Amino acid sequence: MSERKLRVAVIIGSVRSGRFGPAPADWIAAEAAKRDDLDVDVIDLARAWLPDVLPATAGTPAPQAVQDLAPWLDASDAFVIVTPEYNHSFPASLGRPSDPEGPLAAATSMLDQLTWWGRLLRDARAEGAYPG
Ligand SMILES: Cc1cc2nc3c(=O)[nH]c(=O)nc-3n(C[C@H](O)[C@H](O)[C@H](O)COP(=O)(O)O)c2cc1C
C-alpha cells in the first residue's frame, strides 16, 4: 500500500450570508491536519464563484471558475463535504462543482466512479475487514 500522504479536501458547502458551515469545516480540517497521514485543503464554495448557468452541451469549454476549481478537486484523493441541509436536501452550491457538464456527463462520471470504487473495495475486502 502507498505511504504517500492522502490529500483530503474539506469542502464548505454552504454559501449563504451568516452561514455556520466554516466553523465545523475549519474544525475537522484542523483535526485532519494533526495527522501525519493526511494533507488537507479547505475549499470554500462561497469563494469559488461558480456560475449558476452552465454550458448545456458537452465539449463547450467550462466557465473559468470551474476551470480554476478543477485542479483542486483533481489533486484530492478524498473529500470531506461539510453541508447544511436545506429543505431536506443539500444546497445547490454543492451540485455545481460535481455536475459541470450536464446530467449525461454526470451520470457517466458517477458510474465510472462507482465501478472504480467497487473494484477497489472488492479488492480491499479480500485483503481484510473494514476497520470502521
Ligand atoms: C433555508 C433553510 C432550510 C433548512 N432546511 C433544513 C431541513 O430541511 N432539515 C434540517 O434538518 N435543517 C434544515 N435547516 C437547518 C440548517 O441545515 C442548519 O441550520 C445548518 O447549520 C445551516 O448551515 P449554514 O449556516 O452553513 O448554512 C435549514 C436552514 C435554512 C436556512
Is residue 59 domain-shared with residue 90, that is, in the same domain? yes
User: What pLDDT, in 10s, does the model give residues 59-87?
Assistant: 788 889 888 998 998 888 889 999 999 99
Is residue 10 domain-shared with residue 23, that is, in the same domain? yes
Is residue 16 domain-shared with residue 66, that is, in the same domain? yes
84 Cα to the center of ligand 1, angstroms: 5
**Which residue range is the domain that position 63 belongs to?**
6-100
User: What is the predicted pLDDT for the residue at 99?
Assistant: 60
Is residue 35 domain-shared with residue 66, that is, in the same domain? yes
Q: Which of 85, 87, 88, 89 to mutate to test the pocket of ligand 1 (most atoms within 8 A of CB)?
A: 85
Number of domains composing the chain: 2
Q: Is residue 1 part of a domain?
A: no
- Residues with pLDDT less than 50, the chain: none
In terms of residues, how long is the chain? 132
Is residue 25 domain-shared with residue 47, that is, in the same domain? yes
Is residue 76 domain-shared with residue 113, that is, in the same domain? no
Which residues have any ligand 1 atom within 6 Å of their CB? Answer: 14, 16, 19-21, 84-88
| pTM score, whole prediction | 0.79
